Amino acid sequence: MESNVVLSFAIRQPEGCEPETLTITPVLSGTPLTDLVRSFERTHGFEPAGEYSGLILTFARTPPSPPPEVCSVEHYFMGMAGRGYPSGHRLLECQCGFPGCWPLCARILMTGTTVVWDAFKQPRRPLQKYSDFGPFVFDAEQYTKAVVEVTPKNPELRFGWLIVDDEPPS
């Protein structure tokens, strides 16, 4: 278990994507989650190892009421996604850019003074165990501040939504 983890986010435009496409990658105490899971998967002999990207944001041109299958970045990372799905909250996506194709999922558990990311899994790898990955424990105040501030610090995210209820390809 890693305690007192400091959350931040990296926002970037993926190579080869349209200019309005952005990804949001959780950064844990200065290390992108993509790097942490790549190291874990390599150490455990998982193939392919670390083929992840940040979550892909879908954009609206004007501030709409989001459809039920999406939610704001803030609500998502606070564990308040409109609909749950069996594999948990996706924290990373496949490098291909299709939501749900090759996700890394975890439970986001909000307690009084902490936020915990645990129960990591890769739904495409049901036999490979991630029980040694995490849990990551955040101070609730710092975590909330990082999540709430990600949009004002990155105005391009203002109308961004995360797809939370999708069917990945078979």
Dump pLDDT digits (tens) for 149-166. Answer: 887 566 556 555 554 444
Domain count, the chain: 1
Q: What is the 3-state secondary structure (H, E, C) of 7-35?
A: EEEEEECCCCCCCCCEEEEEEECCEEHHH
Q: What is the extent of the structural domain holding 102?
A: 2-163
> What are the pLDDT digits (tens) for 26-67?
999 999 999 999 999 999 999 889 889 888 776 543 444 445
Q: For residue 1, how many C-alpha atoms fall within 13 Å in the half-sphere facing its CB?
A: 9
In a domain, 169, yes or no: no
Residues 6+ apart with CB under 8 A from 161: 57, 58, 59, 60, 66, 70, 71, 72, 73
Q: What pLDDT does 45 receive?
A: 93
Closest to 133 in 3D by CA, of 161, 156, 105, 110: 105
In a domain, 15, yes or no: yes
d(CA 118, CA 16): 32
In a domain, 99, yes or no: yes
Q: Which residue has the tokens 């986010």?
A: 9
Q: What pLDDT does 112 receive?
A: 87
14-18, 57-61, 125-129: range with highest mean pLDDT: 125-129
In a domain, 114, yes or no: yes
In a domain, 155, yes or no: yes
pTM tops 0.85, yes or no: no
